[in-house]
Structure 1
Amino acid sequence: MRTYFLFLLVLFPSALLGQNDNYRYKKFINQHVKQGMSRTRCDAVMGDRRITETNSNECKETNTFIDAGTNEINRVCNRAGAPYQNSARLRVSNQPFPLVICSRRRNKYYPHCQYRGSSTTRYIVIECENGFPVHFERDVYVVNNG
């Protein structure tokens, strides 16, 4: 029985999420997760996924993609992350992730958005609900003094 329950949680994280949380989780995945993303694909991926400013057809100014799988990112909400700035919902990853940051360079309205991409590796700060990411807060560069 335990194995079956774990199987459901891996394949259907929505089983633990409420309807609003499930929507936010799916939106987070659409907007911020793209395994194999490259800085030259910003125009195509932003357009294909119809990523715009919320409730608008205005091109999003900046969008960050995490070049990793959903399971790896989901773990940040649990053991692969730590609380961030005393927030109950924000978690910072224990390890850095490869990121592609897409910045608008031309045209203001979808579907004519054009982006310039840049690549970096940073720690991510995400908001979590019920153990799943629902919002990309920011990326951070962490300096260890030890």
Structure 2
Amino acid sequence: MASWMLCLVLILAAVAGAARETRYEKFLRQHVDHPRTLGLTGHLYCRIMLARRQVTAPGRLCKQSNTFVHAPAEDMVATCTLPADSKGFHSTSTPMDITACNLRGGDSRPPCNYQARQLHRYVRISCLNGLPVHLANTYVSVSES
């Protein structure tokens, strides 16, 4: 009985903690993995990281796509100091190593199966109060293609 009660308390504490998560903290949880988590490769990296970071969870739909940036959080914050484009997005000054996770067919509920691609791309983000809060997309420079 005591172990069940402890488990319930821990779950409630985790839910309460998630409710206080700032948009910046959510951005870091969902998109920054630096240094890149070792020991996970390919689709296994995406499935485990998305579950571990609570992007996918039982009872929730699988996220169609998610990108992990393998650069320090400070680099993402520094990007917010760069000029924004006409849509208000800031782009990193150099390409960054990323893992792009895209949902593969099958169920739309966990366990989710993803295709992983290792890429070197510029990252576009939106910022709020000088902090990144949304990863808009990634791209290859026009001069590089």
TM-score, with normalisation over the residues of structure 2?
Answer: 0.73
- Structure 1: how far apart are the matches of 2:71 and 2:117? 16
Calculate the aligned-residue CA RMSD, in Å: 2.3
Q: 1:94 corresponds to which residue?
A: 93
Shift >2 Å, 4+ stretches? 37-40
CA 141–82 in structure 1, closer or farther in 2 if over 3 Å, else same: farther
1:3-43 Cα distance to aligned partner (Å, 9 max, x none): xxxxxxxxxxxxxxxxxxx6111111111111115652111
Q: 1:63 corresponds to which residue?
A: 66
- Structure 1: how far apart are the matches of 2:84 and 2:103? 31
Q: Gaps spanning 5+ residues in structure 2: where?
A: 1-20
Q: Number of residue pairs matched?
A: 118
- Structure 2: how far apart are the matches of 1:39 and 1:92? 27
- Structure 1: how far apart are the matches of 2:125 and 2:41? 21
Structure with bigger strand share is 1
Q: 1:118 corresponds to which residue?
A: 117
Q: 2:22 corresponds to which residue?
A: 23
- Structure 2: how far apart are the matches of 1:137 and 1:101? 13
1:33-48 to structure 2, matched below 5 A, reads: 33-35=32-34, 36-37=36-37, 39-40=41-42, 41-48=45-52
Q: Does 1:82 align with 2:83?
A: yes
- Structure 2: how far apart are the matches of 1:83 and 1:68? 20
Residue 118 of structure 1 and its aligned partner are, at CA, apart by 0.5
TM-score, with normalisation over the residues of structure 1?
Answer: 0.72
Q: Is the 8 A contact 1:82 1:93 kept in 2?
A: no
CA 39–73 in structure 1, closer or farther in 2 if over 3 Å, else same: farther
Residue 93 of structure 1 and its aligned partner are, at CA, apart by 1.1
- Give the share of equivalent positions with the same residue, in percent: 27
